[in-house]
Amino acid sequence: MMRQRFVLDTSALTDAHTHEMEPSAGICVVMNTVLDVIADARLNLDISCYIPYPSVYNELREIVNNNTCGDEALAKIDTWLVKKTPDRYEVKIPSKIFYEYVDYMRGRINKGMGVAEDAIWESATESMASCAKKRDKTEIERDVIGGIVNKFREKYRNALRYGILDSAPDIDVLLLAKELDAAVVAGDVGIQKWAEQLGLRFVDSKSFPSMIKEYLRRVA
């Protein structure tokens, strides 16, 4: 088969639903299992899996350390994932992509502003009603404003973050995939949306290990 290259986002190794595993499987189990599949693909199919360096590499090391996954997981990351810094100066992105991204961001920001305005109106109205009932300040803050703030955070997160590239590693994944003419592997909707805009092949992290296993089964 033709040699394939994949560029992995952090979510490619940490998605809890990866390759039909139990939802209760810990993140260390998920990472080690996916890395084992990648190792088999490297040895038997000459498939190369890249991660942007240092952005995604540092994220993975931090996850390993914070979850006490051990030296074995770090060794697998260093052995089976190719670390490469994307060429941010030479990779060419069509100007139309920037235009569409700015336009898309304007829409998301306006939606977030609408969520904020709704929360302000609701908070003011509920607080006035509570004052009329002679409720004290602490009770209003706890029972009225606190609940509204929690709802606002969730709605604002959904309004503003869905489909957005919100970190340097996200951009590095796309740039490196563009540079290498590789497929992107991620569980992030923002990366998926803009991978498609750039004409890059996208593989969902949930189906990536199963896909590699199918390759391996066919050449066995």
pLDDT digits (tens, 9 = 90+) for 167-194: 899 999 999 999 999 999 999 888 999 9
* Matching residue, tokens 């498609």: 196
For the beta carbon of residue 142, count every other beta carbon within 10 angstroms.
11
E strand or H helix that includes residue 202 = strand 202-204
pLDDT tens track for 74-103: 999 999 999 999 999 999 988 888 788 888
For the beta carbon of residue 9, count every other beta carbon within 10 angstroms.
28
> Maximum distance among all alpha carbons in the chain?
76
Whether the predicted model's global pTM rises above the 0.75 cut: yes
Show contacts of 45-48: CB within 8 Å, 24+ apart: 45/1, 45/4, 45/212, 45/215, 45/216, 45/219, 46/3, 47/3, 47/4, 47/5, 47/6, 47/212, 47/215, 48/3, 48/4, 48/5, 48/6, 48/82
> How far is it, in rounded angstroms, from Cα 74 to Cα 64?
7
Residues 173/177/183/189 CA torsion (nearest 10 deg): 30
CA distances, 84 to each of 32, 62, 167, 195 (Å):
21, 18, 18, 19
pLDDT tens track for 40-86: 999 999 999 999 999 999 999 999 999 999 999 999 999 999 999 99
> How far is it, in rounded angstroms, from Cα 105 to Cα 111?
10
> How far is it, in rounded angstroms, from Cα 194 to Cα 165?
8
